[in-house]
Amino acid sequence: MLKKFFLGVILLGICLTGLFGSNSYARQKNNQDNFTNLKESSNSNLVFYKKNCPYCEGAEKEILEYSRKTTIPTFFIDTRSNNGKTLVKKYNVRYASTIIKIREGKAEKYIYAEKQGGAYRAKQDVIKKVFGGENR
């Protein structure tokens, strides 16, 4: 009986975290639907992701942290959504863990995550190119 109670509490916690947590790509206000209304010449970052992608999930915390620090709008693109599929085609995205950096109408594509020592993590050189330095 006690085991069932604790299992229920754990499952409830997991469900509530999924419903109310804001630290995931899918819960960000700027997404593939917002980006389709933005001018192409606008400076922005497009972070592509796919649910359950270990690369995307491994870099998620750091990507979200840096996206909040920059003045450049960052849009989170679900590769499986209708508008996301359109953007995947448009920018020729092959891997879900891709960032497109758009500055003055010019798009640069980067893979933002890697597997190192058995763990998935954000690529620091890409983080700096996209979120740091000039035109931040």
Task: Spell out the domain ranges in the chain.
Answer: 30-131
Contact 33, 83 (CB under 8 A): yes
**Is the pLDDT score of 14 beyond 50?**
no
Residue scoring higher pLDDT (59 or 40)? 59
Contact 47, 76 (CB under 8 A): yes
Tens of pLDDT, residues 41-89: 578 999 999 999 999 999 999 999 999 999 999 999 999 999 999 999 9
Q: What is the pLDDT of residue 107?
A: 92
**Is the pLDDT score of 33 beyond 80?**
no
**Is the pLDDT score of 5 beyond 60?**
no
Rounded to an integer, the average pLDDT of 12-39 is: 59
Q: Could you give the CA distance from residue 76 to residue 78 in angstroms, rounded to a whole number?
A: 7
Q: What is the pLDDT of residue 119?
A: 95
pTM for the full predicted model: 0.76
Q: What is the pLDDT of residue 27?
A: 72
Q: What is the pLDDT of residue 36?
A: 61
Q: What is the pLDDT of residue 23?
A: 54
Residue 105: which pLDDT band, with cuts at 50, 70 and 90?
Answer: confident
Q: Could you give the CA distance from residue 5 to residue 121 in angstroms, rounded to a whole number?
A: 35
**28 CB-contact burial (10 Å; exposed 0-12 / middle 13-18 / buried 19+):** middle
Q: Could you give the CA distance from residue 65 to residue 46 in angstroms, rounded to a whole number?
A: 15
Residue scoring higher pLDDT (11 or 132)? 132
31 secondary structure, DSSP code: B
What superfamily does domain 30-131 belong to in CATH?
Glutaredoxin (3.40.30.10)
**43 CB-contact burial (10 Å; exposed 0-12 / middle 13-18 / buried 19+):** middle
Q: What is the pLDDT of residue 133?
A: 53
